[in-house]
Amino acid sequence: MKNLIFIFVLTVTLIYSSPLVAKVYHTRDGALKNAFSDADTIEKKTLFLDDEDVKKIEALAKVKLDTKIFTFYIGKKKEAVIGYVMFGSHVIRTKPEVYMVVINPDASIKFVEILAFYEPEEYLPLKKWFEQFVGRVLDDTFFPKRGIRAVSGATLSVNGITQEIRKALAVFQIMIIGEKK
Model pTM score: 0.83
Is 2 within the bounds of a domain?
Answer: no
pLDDT in tens, 25-44: 888 999 999 999 999 999 99
Band (180; pLDDT cuts 50, 70, 90): low
Task: From residue 132, give the alpha-carbon distance in Å to each of 82, 109, 142, 174.
Answer: 21, 10, 11, 24
Band (7; pLDDT cuts 50, 70, 90): very low
Number of structural domains (the chain) is 1
Is 4 within the bounds of a domain?
Answer: no
Q: Are 134 and 111 in contact (CB under 8 A)?
A: yes
Residue 46: is its pLDDT beyond 50?
yes
Percent of all residues in the chain with a pLDDT value above 90, rounded to a whole number: 59
pLDDT of residue 158: 85
Task: From residue 44, give the alpha-carbon distance in Å to each of 84, 86, 131.
Answer: 10, 10, 26
Is 60 within the bounds of a domain?
Answer: yes
Is 6 within the bounds of a domain?
Answer: no
Residue 2: is its pLDDT beyond 70?
no
The arithmetic mean of pLDDT across residues 7-26, rounded, is 56
Band (146; pLDDT cuts 50, 70, 90): confident
Q: Is 150 helix (H, G, I), strand (E, B) or coil?
A: coil
Is 8 within the bounds of a domain?
Answer: no
pLDDT in tens, 51-77: 999 999 999 999 999 999 999 999 999
Domain range for residue 122? 19-180
